[in-house]
Amino acid sequence: MASEMPVVNAEFGDRPTIEFPTEIAPAGLKVVELFEGNGPMVRRGDTVTVNYHGVVWGKDTPFDSSFDRHQPATFGIGVGQVIKGWDQTVPGHNVGSRLVVSIPPEYGYGSRGVPQAGIGGEDTLVFVIDIISTR
């Protein structure tokens, strides 16, 4: 599975660069842990703080990036405060981990997408997520 996922260059904490191995995204929700942290494990219902970088599969320009804003994001995980793809992939990983997640529309913004962000209803989203803390 890792071979069909994007290649991410950068260490935990640094703004990632993403290279796509194919024009076509893999089917389904996929997560690869690029670096395993040694902090506490994130559990459903926790409040997590993360840095993230989100792009549409195959695109260079992020539609959203806390790295670019220099401001991590904090929210409840596994409780419907973020898209389903995050709720299902972030829990179970440790603080200090870097993940790359491929999220098809049904786990992201659905068939409507988010046109104002450049996300179409058929677009697969890719997020690089650095887990900073959990409580």
Helix, coil or strand: residue 34:
strand
Residue appearing with tokens 């450049």: 118
Check: CB of residue 3 under 8 Å from CB of residue 21.
yes
The first and second tokens of residue 104, run together, are 């098809």
List, for the chain, all residue ranges whose pLDDT scores fall below the cut of 70: 1-2
Task: Give the pLDDT score at 10.
Answer: 87
Helix, coil or strand: residue 52:
strand
**Domain boundary assignment for the chain:** 2-134
Is pTM beyond 0.85? Reply is yes
Distances in Å between the Cα of 48 and the Cα atoms of 13, 77, 90, 102, 120 are: 15, 7, 9, 20, 27
Rounded Cα distance, 125 and 26, in Å: 11
What is the dihedral angle through the alpha carbons of 89, 57, 99, 130, rounded to the nearest 10 degrees? -110
Task: Give the pLDDT score at 2.
Answer: 61
Question: What's the fold here for domain 2-134?
Answer: Chitinase A; domain 3 (3.10.50)
Task: Give the pLDDT score at 1.
Answer: 53
Check: CB of residue 43 under 8 Å from CB of residue 131.
no
